[in-house]
Chains A and B, each alone.
Chain A
C-alpha cells in the first residue's frame, strides 16, 4: 500500500492524508465534547453539597498528576508546542500528546476548572496529524501541513465551524497563507466538521436571531472594542503573572494545581457562571435570556479572568478559547447594560448583539488573530448580518491590545525563549543552516615558529586569505593570520627571514564553536568586521566559517524554499 501511495502526485497524497487526519481529528474533538458533557452532568448531582468547592482542586490535581506522572508529557496548554514543532522540528509531535491533553483537560474542566477544551483538541489533532504523516513517510515540509490539518479539523469539529478551522490554522498555527497550505487544510476542516455533524447533528452552537442594527450601534462598537482590548490585556497579564509565580510559591506541580483549584472553587461559590467552559451562560445571553445587574456583570468579567488564570496558570490543563468567549460575552453584556443606563433614549440592539461582538473582540485580542475572531463568531451564531460590526470590533481590539501586548498568547512562551521563528523569514533560513554544513576545512595550517619566508611561499600556492596558527606540539589553536595583517611586510624581502609567524599573528580572534547558531555568528561578524572566523572545538581548530560560503548556501536555501 505504501508503494502505491508513494507513486501518487504529491498534492493528491496530501489531500488523501488530510481527509484521514480530518476524520481522526474530528472524532477526537467529538469524543472530548461528549465525555465533557457526560462527566459534567454526572458531577452536577453532587454540586449542591458543601464540599463541591473542592471539585476543581481535585480535578486540577488529578489532571496535573496524569499529565506529568502517568502520561509524562510536559505541561503547558499545548499550542506553543505545536507552533514550535511546526517552525523548527518539521512538525514532529509525540504520539502521547494525541491523548494526554484530552484526558487532562477533561479532568480539569469537568470538575469545574475555568478553561476551554479547544487547545487540547488542537494539540491532539495536530499530534494525530503528525503521526499519520510520519506513518505515510511524509517529509518535514508536508508533515507541517498535515499537522495544520489536524488542528484545523479539531477546531472546525468542536465549533461546527469549517471556515474558522481553516482561518485559525493559517493565522495562528502555520502563520502563512499559501495555496499549498490552504487546500489540504480546507479539506481536513471540512471533513472534521462533517464528522461532527454526522455524530452529533448539525447544531449551531449559539443560535442568534438577527435584528436591525442602527448606525448608533456601529458607533458604540468603538467603545466596546476598546473595552474588549482591555479585557484581553488583563487576561494575558494575569495569566502570565500567575504562571510565573505559582511554581515559585509551590514547587510541586500537582499541589500548586490543587491550590489554584481551591481558589477557583471558592470563587465559584459566589459566581457559579465562571466554572467550567461556560457555554451555557453564553447561550442564555445570546438568546437574550440572561439578566444581571451592571455590578454583577462587571465583577463576573473580573472573576472569570482571575479564575481562568488560576486554573491554567497554576498547572491545570486547558485552553483559552472558551474563557475568552465567556469573558467577551460578559464584557459585551456589561457594555450594553452601561449604554442602556447612560443613554436610555437611543434604541440599542439587544444585549446578545453586544455579547457576540465582545466575544469576537476578546478572542482576536488575546490570539492576535482578527480573522479567527470574525469567522468564529459568524459561524457559531450562523449569522452574517452583523459582519461589519464584528470586523470593526475585532480589528480595533487587535490594534489596541497589540499596543500593550505585542505578542499573541500562543507565541509568548516561544518569544521569551527566543524561539519564535516565522516561516519564510531570514531567521528560519539561518536556523536551518548549521555550522557543520558551512565548515571549510581546506585551510593551510601554520605554526608559530615559522618564518615569514615560509608563509610567503605558502601564500603563493594558496587561494585563501586566512591562515590558522596551531601549536606544533599540542595542536592547540593559537590564533590566525589574515593576509591584511602582513601585507605591509610581504614585499620586503629583508623582513622575510626576521619575522616569525607568532610575531604577526592575531592572538585574540573571536572563535565560534560547532554548536553556535548562525544568528550569533553573524553578530560576531558584524562586531569584528571580519570575513572569516575560526571554528574551534576543545581548543583545536577544525575549520573556517566565512561570509562568502554562508551567502552561497543561503541563496541555495532560498531557491529550494520557493514553491512553484
Chain B
C-alpha cells in the first residue's frame, strides 16, 4: 500500500494533479478516513494499461548523478604511473599502456586498444606541449564503476600528430564509465595542464610520489576556488 506522497513520487507529478485524478476517477485508489491509499499492483497495472511511466525506484537514479564527483588523485592512483614506457608508434605506446594498467580480468585488452586507436583516427588526442590524453571512443559502461587514469611517461617522445606538432612524452589514458564522468575528469586535468609550472615539472618527473604530490596541490587549489 502506498500513500499519496509515495504515488506523487512514483508518478513524478504534482500532488494537485493526483488529487484531481482521484476526484475524476482516473486512477485506482482506496479511501479510508479521508486519506488515500494506492495498491501498488493496481497502480502498476493501470500505468501499463495507459502507457504511463512509473519510476520503479523512486529515489533519484544513482548510477548517473547530475554533478559527478571524485578527484583526479584517486583515479590516477587507480590507474598507476609508469616510467620509460617503450614504443615507437602511437599503436605501440597505447598497447603498452593498456597492458601496464591494472584492469579487471574481464576486460578484453586488444579490444580496448582498438577503441583507443579508433579515437586517434578521428583526431589526435595530443593536446599540445607534449601531452596526450588518449581515451576510448565510447565510454566503457559495464567495466568500471569509476574512472581510471593511467599516466605513462614515454621512453622516447612519439609523434602523435598533436595540434602543435610537438612529439608527445606523456600520456594520460582515461577510461571512464560515463561521458559525464569523462568530461568531469577531463576538465580537472586540463585545469592542471594549463598550469605552466606543472607541464615543466612533468618533463623532469621521475617518481610517482612527487607526481601525486603535485596533483594533490593543484587539485586543492582547484577545489579551494
Query: Known contacts being A556-B52, A559-B52, A562-B50, is A139 close to B24, with CB within 8 Å?
Result: yes
When chains A and B are docked, how far (Å) is the Cα of A444 from the Cα of B5? 25
| Interface residue stretch chosen among B13-21, B105-113, B178-186, B209-217 | B13-21
Q: A559-B50, A559-B52, A562-B50 are in contact. Are A436 and B16 (CB under 8 A)?
A: yes
Question: Are A437 and B23 in contact (CB-based, < 8 A)?
Answer: no
Contacts of B49 in A (CB 8 A): 564
Complex interface residues of chain A between 437 and 458 (CB less than 8 A to chain B):
437-439
Please tell me which one of the listed residues B13, B17, B23 contacts residue A139 in the complex, with CB atoms under 8 A apart: B23
- Interface residue B61 (Cβ < 8 Å from any Cβ of A): no
Interface string of A550-562 (1 = CB under 8 A from B): 0001001001111
Distance of A437 Cα from B25 Cα, bound (Å): 18
Residue of B nearest to A137 (CB): B31
CB B25 to nearest CB in A, in angstroms, measures: 2
Choose one: A90, A438, A560, A564; the contact of B23 (CB below 8 Å): A90
A434 to chain B: closest CB distance in Å?
8
Please tell me if B51 contacts chain A, counting CB pairs below 8 Å.
Answer: yes
| B22 within 8 Å of A (CB atoms) | yes
Give Cα A438–Cα B13 distance, bound, in whole angstroms: 9
Interface string of B23-54 (1 = CB under 8 A from A): 11111000100000000000000000111100
Describe A's contact surface by its main secondary structure: helix
- Given the known interface contacts A90-B23, A90-B24, A139-B24, the answer about A560 and B50 at a Cβ–Cβ threshold of 8 Å is yes
Neighbouring B residues of A436 by C-beta, 8 Å: 14, 16
CA distance A377 to B49 in the complex (A): 43
B23 touches A140 (CB 8 A): yes
When C-beta atoms are compared, the residue in chain B nearest to A556 turns out to be B52
Indicate whether A245 reaches chain B with its CB closer than 8 angstroms. Answer: no
A297→B146 CA distance, assembly (Å): 94
For B49, give the chain A residue with the smallest CB separation: A564
Known contacts A562-B50, A564-B49, A564-B50; is-contact A141 B26 (Cβ 8 Å): yes
Which residues of B are found within 8 Å of A564, using beta-carbon distances?
A: 49-50
- The smallest beta-carbon distance between B38 and chain A, in angstroms, is 14
A-side contacts of B21, CB under 8 Å: 560
- Interface size of B by CB at 8 A reads 17
CA gap between A142 and B23 in the complex, in Å: 11
A560 CA to B13 CA in the complex, in Å?
13
Residues in chain B near residue A141, CB distance under 8 A = 24-26
Q: In the complex, A140→B22 CA distance in Å?
A: 9
0/1 string, A218-253, CB within 8 A of B gives 1: 000000000000000000000000000000000000
A138 interface residue, CB < 8 Å from B? yes
Cross-interface CB contact of A437 among B16, B22, B26, B27, cutoff 8 Å: B16
Q: Are A560 and B27 in contact (CB under 8 A)?
A: yes
Complex CA distance for A439 and B16, rounded to whole angstroms? 11
Q: A556-B52, A562-B50, A564-B50 are in contact. Are A140 and B24 (CB under 8 A)?
A: yes
Partner of B14, one of A90, A437, A559, A562: A437
Contact in complex: B17, A437 (CB < 8 Å): yes
Which of A434, A559, A560, A561 has the most C-beta atoms of chain B within 10 angstroms of its own C-beta?
A560
Map CB proximity to B onto A288-325 as digits: 1 under 8 Å, 0 otherwise: 00000000000000000000000000000000000000
**Chain B proximity mask over A138-156: 1 for CB below 8 Å, otherwise 0:** 1111110000000000000
B25→A142 contact, CB < 8 A? yes
Residues of A535-564 at the interface with B, using a CB-CB cut-off of 8 Å, are 553, 556, 559-562, 564
Q: How far is the CA of A556 from the CA of B52 in the complex (A)?
A: 7
Which residues of the partner chain A approach B22 to less than 8 Å between Cβ atoms?
139
Q: Which residue of B17, B49, B51 has the most chain A CB atoms within 10 A of its CB atom?
A: B17
Q: Which residue of A lies closest to B29 (CB)?
A: A139
CA A434 to CA B26, docked complex, whole Å: 17
Q: How close is B208's CB to chain A, nearest CB, in angstroms?
A: 34
Please tell me if the beta carbons of B13 and A561 are within 8 angstroms of each other in the complex. no
Residue in B25, B31, B51 whose CB lies within 8 Å of A140: B25
Within the complex, which residue of B14, B16, B31, B52 is in contact with A560, where a contact is CB–CB below 8 Å? B52
Tell me the complex Cα distance, A232–B20, Å. Answer: 41
Which chain A residues in 367-408 approach chain B with CB under 8 Å?
Answer: none
Take A437-B20, A560-B50, A564-B50 as given contacts and tell me if A139 and B25 are in contact as well, using a CB distance cutoff of 8 Å.
yes
Q: Does A427 lie at the interface of the complex (its beta carbon under 8 Å from any beta carbon of B)?
A: no
Contact with A along B179-208 (1 / 0, CB 8 A): 000000000000000000000000000000
The minimal Cβ–Cβ distance linking A145 to chain B, given in whole angstroms, is 10
Which chain B residues (116-140) contact chain A, with CB distance < 8 Å?
Answer: none
Is A432's beta carbon under 8 Å from chain B? Answer: yes
Which partner residue on chain A sits nearest B19 by CB separation? A437
Q: Which partner residue on chain B sits nearest A439 by CB separation?
A: B14
For chain A residues 102-141, which have a beta carbon within 8 Å of chain B? 137-141
A139-B23, A553-B13, A564-B49 known; 6 new pairs, CB 8 Å cut-off, are: A139-B25, A432-B24, A556-B17, A556-B52, A560-B26, A561-B26
22 sample A-B contacts, Cβ–Cβ < 8 Å, listed by A number: A137-B31, A138-B25, A139-B23, A139-B25, A139-B26, A142-B25, A143-B25, A432-B20, A434-B16, A436-B14, A437-B14, A437-B16, A437-B17, A553-B17, A556-B13, A559-B50, A559-B52, A560-B21, A560-B26, A560-B27, A560-B50, A564-B50
Measured CB to CB, the residues of A under 8 A from B are 90, 137-143, 432, 434, 436-439, 553, 556, 559-562, 564
Q: Which residues of B contact A (CB under 8 A)?
A: 13-14, 16-17, 20-27, 31, 49-52
6 closest A-B pairs by CB: A139-B25, A141-B25, A140-B24, A560-B26, A437-B16, A559-B50
